[in-house]
Every structure is written in C-alpha cells, then in structure tokens.
Amino acid sequence: MKTTNNVQKAITKSLAVIISLVLISITVNAQDFWRTVMENNSFSQIAMAMTDNTEASSASADASATTDMSAYARYAAVEAEEALDVENWMLAENNFFTTVNVETEVEEALEVENWMTNESYFDGMASYFNEETEEALQVEEWMTDTNFFGVLSVDVEEETEAALEVEAWMTDAKTWNI
C-alpha cells in the first residue's frame, strides 16, 4: 500500500512538472501572438476616427483594411521553390557505389643491429628475467605452540581422500541417452 502511494505521488509530481513545462512553452509562444494582435488592433484606429473628420476617418478605415489584408497576404502567400537541376555528378554511378581497393603493404626487412646482441645493454634488466624459486614451506615450532595463539590444544590432521569408484549409473546408457 505504501509503495502504491509513493508511486502515485511520483506520477502526480511528474505530471505537474510536464504540464507546467507545456504551459510555459505555450505562454512563451503566445507573447508573439499578442504582440501581433496589439500591432494590428483597430482600437487606436477607432479612437482616431472618432476625433477626425469623415474624410480622415474614411482614409483611416481604408488604411486599416489594407493593413489587415497585407498582413493576411503575408501569411497566405504561397512560396515557390526554384526548380532543381540535375547535375553531372548526380548521374555518375561511381559516386554511389563503394569500391574496395586492396593494396599490399611492403615492409622493409628487419635487421639485427649491434646493440641488440651486446649483452652489456641488458645487464641491468637481467634480474627482471630470472625466476625466483621458493623453498618448500615447513611447520615451525611456534606455529603449533598453544601459548602463542591462546588455543588449548592444536590437532594436526592429515586429510586423505578415498579412491574414486565407478558406479553403475555412470556406465548406464539410459542415463546418458546413448
């Protein structure tokens, strides 16, 4: 139940963030809309028409009509693109197919130089190439001393394993689907 509530809270918070982002983007886009509306509104033109004489108001009305129509004409104009021309490189098939050129690389033969065979160059490195041999480990007296470890008794046991035996199921063909 607690997990369900937590999931519901997380979903609600996520939706709130998404909705707020959408509203912010709409508001930002709407600023341009309101700017164009305020530029092309007729309130200022109506106020001018009421104060001017009839000739001025008719001229103002004509101007507002042409302004509105020119603004609409800008948005309604059909744009025409230039005709595309076919160029020579567009017709050449070599431009559209991959070609594989296999070139064999010729290397110079390697030569043995004097420093490669001179032992004096490698004396410092000789110690890195020697393998160390360690002596076999042995049980020492302190390792079995009970006073040293605070143990009352130390039992040293040798583990021996029994020899493996072949059982009947190991050789049964039914077991192995043979």
Closest CA to 16 of 28, 5, 6, 8: 8
**H helix or E strand, kind and range, residue 123:** none
> pLDDT tier at 18 (50, 70, 90 boundaries)?
very high
In the predicted model, is pLDDT for residue 50 greater than 90?
Answer: no
Instruction: Report the pLDDT value the prediction gives residue 42, as an integer from 0 to 100.
Output: 64
The Cα–Cα gap between 100 and 42 comes to: 70
CB of 60 closer than 8 Å to CB of 48:
yes
Distances (CA, A) of 84 to 78, 81, 90, 99, 116: 18, 9, 12, 29, 68
Phi, psi of 113 (to 5 degrees): -95, 165
Give per-residue pLDDT as tens, 107-148: 899 999 988 888 777 766 666 666 778 888 898 888 887 777
Percent of residues, the chain, with pLDDT higher than 70: 70
SS3 content of the chain, % helix, strand, coil (to 5): 55, 0, 45
Mean pLDDT of the chain: 77
CB of 175 closer than 8 Å to CB of 169:
yes
In the chain, what are the domain boundaries?
A: 2-76
The Cα–Cα gap between 167 and 178 comes to: 17
Give per-residue pLDDT as tens, 147-165: 777 666 667 788 888 888 9
